[in-house]
Chains A and B, each alone.
Chain A
Amino acid sequence: LVDSDEVVDRDVLLELLELGGRDAGFLARLVDAFVDRARTLAVNFRRAIDEGDRSCVEAVAHELRSSGAQLGALRLPRIARDLEAMAAEGNDSLRPSGERFLAEVNLVCAALAEQLGVIGSGHERVDLESGNEPNPAC
């Protein structure tokens, strides 16, 4: 088990909750948007890893690094940045880092859902494995 406080910064989420003001669903919608996007991107990310499509790997890592950081992800930005750099340098051994990246994205999604429950905004558990939408990013 991983402590969600090690995965996402609760203070960032509390700031976003405050930013939402009287709009009680604001933070939950942000989390939904991240999870939906992560689910979509994960499908093609796996395919990109299988096919050695480095530009797609780089694009997905870049996008989820930015949006994850905006939601308080603590470790994901560094993991994604390392993966981006590997892909940009033409490294052909992206699978281990890619798997680690996806695992961290999954942890971020789960941690966000858990933190939402803790700070009072109900949210369903998420599952990146269920996504099957096309990825417009690559």
Chain B
Amino acid sequence: MSRILLVEDDPVTATILGRVLDQSGHEVEIAKNGLAAVEMLESESYGALITDIMMPRLGGEELCRMVRADERYRDLPIFVTTGVIDPEKLAWVDTLDAVEIHAKPIQFSSLIERIDQVTAD
């Protein structure tokens, strides 16, 4: 089991993904935006970060950049879930280490499989 930080402002997606992760044996904590996620990262340790991109009060791109720039979270796996279709708008992901994209609607089995892999390491 691993503690997962899920950053998602859409209550529907957060509820579904939270339940899926819970049933997969992970402990899930939810932040509604990137700013709240930064505060939670300061106070807790997480095995992986899952984040949406388009959110108020610090979006997913800015959050990922901040996390990757911080030595304390250098090894924290990041999963970006997004409905963004334009590949140019996602090019920033390739510039960061250990960040992978999962398109919405989320295919839960593949995401959970990857979460299980990275948190088992």
Residues of A within 8 A of B (CB): 16, 19-21, 26, 29-30, 33-34, 37, 59, 62-63, 65-67, 69-71, 77, 81, 88, 136-137
Contact = CB atoms under 8 A, between A and B. Distances in A.
B117 interface: no
Interface in B66-112: 83-86, 104-106
Contacts of A67: 10-13
B41 interface: no
A88 B89 CA distance: 12
A34 B12 contact: yes
B81 to A, nearest CB: 9
Tell me whether chain A's interface is mostly helix, strand or loop, or mixed.
helix
Interface in B3-44: 10-13, 15-16, 19-20, 23
Contacts of B58: none
B19 A70 contact: no
Contacts of A62: 54, 83-84
Given A20-B19, A26-B19, A70 B54 contact: no
Contacts of A29: 15
- 5 closest pairs, A vs B, by CB? A67-B12, A69-B105, A66-B83, A33-B11, A66-B104
B23 to A, nearest CB: 7
A37 B12 CA distance: 9
6 contacts: A19-B19, A20-B19, A33-B12, A59-B54, A65-B83, A70-B16
B10 A63 contact: yes
